[in-house]
Structure 1
């Protein structure tokens, strides 16, 4: 059996013509791939299994051999945004997002822009090796740190090395793009996408959990949508996954399919193909029951244990209970020590200081942090407009 992933092995490697003569995008009503014949010699002599084909791409084969058959099996549900319905980003927000949520999005975006004065960059068509390596290293660190926080695992980590090797060239070929939000030249949110024609495929997002108060994962997603609309993309494929944000921002769904291509006249191949078809169909019919029995959770925990070496360098600061007081003035300076929260020793203060900036509309770089020398568990955050005392228990 020759197993392939539709996205990684066909789209990214320009290998569609070997297996399909036509791909028609029913969402955009456009023919996105056509060729006269598929490679009959490959298909005739191989039992081919292609997974994760979106059914909005209506796939056809046309070979010189009438014995080659294509069987399509429905698997997961995917989410998408058909951008052709909107004239601009404001039009998308107005039609798809509630008034209340639009207001909240604007509030958090304004707060982010005020508190940290971020810079935004889309890498598409060009990126330096230095920028690329920094982005990918930080993306992995942020992703692992987030998974450590959730005590979870995401199979994206299994493909990090492969993605790191391939994406640099794909960016230069305009087959991928990476959107980055920076604070003081350091990435705090990264969104990696792949490109096929006028369709953008969301691959992976990672963000610094210290900035979670700003809902930065949603903000970078919306920035990516805005960029796609401004650059005349017609569709955003949000892929699979039961995430609430997908339900909130999508305007359509589709079904992933697994395709099995085989020679109908070769008895052994016919038997193998039909057994696989039966097996896959049964698995996906049982999937709702397996989820109900939390088998997927058990599998995630198993993967996390198996891959625990990945997390060994990303141990989070232990949760420490503390209480906060908003005060009018500081304690005497002769009992206070100025500290640098960029020092790893004070890493546990990074998120509270960012939260202080958010809640008091302070610019992060204006915040000065002190430690009370007579009580090492007491700290002060001082901005231009507010002072806060934080005491760890």
Structure 2
């Protein structure tokens, strides 16, 4: 008999729809995911101790031989998630009205309307078929958006650090309907991408999402949640998992906050099993203690410092002020040099231009941008109904 087995739950469950061989099933409310590999031999060959990590508390499990085993449950420190339980016959409108505050509902409508009023927006859910060319194009866009987003927050991304591991076999998973990409485009440019895993066509796990930070005012995270939830309801999913971390915007959307647990199973009538679990418990509690005192955060900061010192993941930002002008005052600026919007040479103008579109409900096709003669740090943005002067400080 094997003495101990160590296994991580969430990775195999997400990537391969696999259930540990020592479980009869895993369930979510009335939805049961049976383990097709169960057999009497597996019951007989269970190890004395099983240490299963990263089991989310929104799920329940049925152990193969629970009458012979005791269980110790320990929450992971600083590791939680948020999701949405979807009730049978749940409508999108009903859920939003019930869960989001009045102000949040107004903001969601405003974000979506202004995004679609300002740009040529299209939405695409890629599930079951993607070409190799398109896959690499979208993954490059996701990588760039994640990089810029975490540079802006001056934080390290676990997904970026483990990019090769997390994206391994992803192309095949998408084509086999075990993963998907939801993309928001401005014309042909991806401005928001979420990477999702599908579990038994019942649970959608949003593994990673990123958006172009130049479009920050348009609330792309909220629009992304709205579209993902709509897709889940339309396809009769029972749970939308918005992934690790419980940010304020997730709290607005979710009706489920959960923890990740260590589940340590050990044979009741075995003195050996009781000895084996001692070092396992010490390791788990030590990891949790180190997280509690912030050692993991300190290590991430060291990695961040190392990456920055090697010119990895760095971006330049420019500080600017905005002066709103009446259109009638355009005559005070007779010498203007028009420039093309969204050229790489002037990419630093994108965010202020998009903020201008949001604030003034203008469309990008109606915008003209000018350099002010003899004022190299000043630019004029002109729409149909509004004009602003940008003054860059650095």
TM-score by length of 1: 0.87
Task: Return 5+ residue gaps in structure 2 as ranges.
Answer: none
8 Å Cα contact 2:49-2:267 kept in structure 1: yes
Give the one of 4, 9, 12 matched to 1:9: 12
Give the one of 180, 203, 206 matched to 2:210: 206
Q: Aligned partners of 2:45 and 2:305: how far apart in 1?
A: 39
Task: Return 5+ residue gaps in structure 1 as ranges.
Answer: none
Q: CA deviation at 1:267?
A: 7.0
Q: CA deviation at 1:41?
A: 9.3
User: Match for residue 63 of structure 2?
Assistant: 61
User: Match for residue 319 of structure 1?
Assistant: 318
Q: CA deviation at 1:8?
A: 1.8
Q: Aligned partners of 1:74 and 1:48: how far apart in 2?
A: 16
Q: Deviations over 1:78-131 (max 9, x none)?
A: 322111166311111111111121111101110001001310001111112222
Q: Aligned partners of 2:361 and 2:41: how far apart in 1?
A: 62
Task: Identify if the C-alpha distance between structure 1 residues 199 and 17 changes in structure 2 by more than 3 Å, giving closer, same or farther.
Answer: same
How do 1:1-393 residues align onto structure 2 when only pairs under 5 Å count? Answer: 3-25=6-28, 28-35=29-36, 36-37=38-39, 40=42, 44=46, 48-62=50-64, 71-75=72-76, 76-84=79-87, 87-197=90-200, 198-261=202-265, 271-281=275-285, 283-284=287-288, 290=293, 295=295, 297-308=297-308, 312=311, 314-328=313-327, 329-330=329-330, 335-393=335-393
Aligned residue pairs, count: 385
Q: Aligned partners of 1:363 and 1:59: how far apart in 2?
A: 52
Task: Identify if the C-alpha distance between structure 1 residues 242 and 79 changes in structure 2 by more than 3 Å, giving closer, same or farther.
Answer: closer
Q: Aligned partners of 2:110 and 2:264: how far apart in 1?
A: 49
Q: Which moved more, 1:96-105 or 1:83-92?
A: 83-92
8 Å Cα contact 1:20-1:38 kept in structure 2: no
8 Å Cα contact 1:193-1:204 kept in structure 2: yes
Secondary structure of the 1:125 match is coil
Secondary structure of the 2:162 match is helix
Q: Aligned partners of 2:89 and 2:132: how far apart in 1?
A: 36
Secondary structure of the 2:155 match is coil
8 Å Cα contact 2:320-2:390 kept in structure 1: no
| Coordinate RMSD, CA, aligned | 3.0
8 Å Cα contact 2:118-2:361 kept in structure 1: yes
